[in-house]
């Protein structure tokens, strides 16, 4: 359930002027279009990276629609997230072929290597783990995606080789 109280500034992305400017621009450009709410939320997800409760309330207020309508859309569609994702996202395909092919063991290896569960982000903000439905690459099962790139026929012992370059990129930045 959406908390309709005024958001506190400590955890409010709108307290950052650059984020508020991006959201205001998106709202100004799209709020009157047919299907405007979906367009607005999709643009915010793409440019800000997430649609938190304070952002949802702000959008509802600016578009003059009930907060429950905005929250309903955000919570219904799995591509919207309410918390920031890491710089890199690894998704585990939970389709039948991948599940039977060993994706649960790959998830266990990921948890060991990164110290987080699916739905979480590493403390350094670099890697987010997520579960997803079938990605349509059943012939390559089991499959994960790394930043939307499909990696097939993966085995648990290969997961560290996939994730270490992402961690090295973070160390070099």
Residue 131, classed as helix, strand or coil, is strand
The domain locations on the chain are: 9-76, 88-172
Which residues contact residue 65 at a Cβ distance below 8 angstroms, ignoring those fewer than 6 apart? Answer: 37
Dump pLDDT digits (tens) for 106-132: 999 999 999 999 999 999 999 999 999
Cis peptide before 6 (omega within 30 of 0): no
CA angle 146, 106, 149 (to 5 degrees): 15
Tokens of 144: 């994960």
Is 93 part of any known ligand binding site? yes
Say how far residue 58 (Cα) sits from the centre of its chain: 20
Is 132 part of any known ligand binding site? no
Say how far residue 103 (Cα) sits from the centre of its chain: 20
Say how far residue 168 (Cα) sits from the centre of its chain: 22
Backbone phi and psi for residue 137, each to the nearest 5 degrees, phi listed first: -120, 45
- Count H helices and E strands in the chain, helices first: 7, 4
At how many degrees (to 10) do helices 159-172 and 103-114 cross? 30
User: pLDDT class for 156, splitting at 50, 70, 90?
Assistant: very high
Q: In this structure, how many other beta carbons lie within 10 angstroms of the beta carbon of residue 35?
A: 9
In angstroms, rounded to a whole number, what is the distance separating the alpha carbons of residues 173 and 171?
6
CATH homologous superfamily, domain 88-172:
Glutaredoxin (3.40.30.10)
In angstroms, rounded to a whole number, what is the distance separating the alpha carbons of residues 156 and 170?
22
Is 138 part of any known ligand binding site? yes
pLDDT of residue 1: 44
Mean of per-residue pLDDT scores for the chain: 91
Q: What is the mean pLDDT of residues 133-137?
A: 93
**3: pLDDT strictly greater than 70:** no
């Amino acid at each position: 359930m959406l908390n309709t109280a005024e958001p506190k500034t400590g955890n409010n992305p709108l307290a950052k002027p650059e984020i508020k400017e991006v959201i205001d621009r998106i709202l100004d450009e799209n709020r009157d279009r047919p299907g405007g709410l979906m367009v607005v939320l999709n643009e915010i997800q793409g440019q800000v990276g997430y649609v938190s409760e304070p952002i949802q309330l702000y959008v509802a207020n600016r578009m003059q629609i009930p907060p429950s309508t905005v929250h309903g859309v955000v919570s219904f569609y799995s591509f919207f997230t309410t918390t920031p994702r890491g710089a890199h996202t690894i998704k585990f395909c939970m389709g039948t072929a991948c599940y039977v092919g060993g994706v649960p063991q790959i998830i266990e290896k990921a948890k060991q290597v990164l110290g987080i569960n699916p739905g979480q982000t590493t403390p350094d903000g670099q890697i987010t783990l997520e579960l997803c439905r079938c990605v349509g690459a059943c012939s390559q099962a089991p499959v994960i995606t790394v930043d939307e790139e499909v990696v097939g026929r993966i085995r648990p012992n290969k997961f560290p080789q996939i994730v270490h370059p992402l961690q090295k990129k973070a160390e070099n930045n």
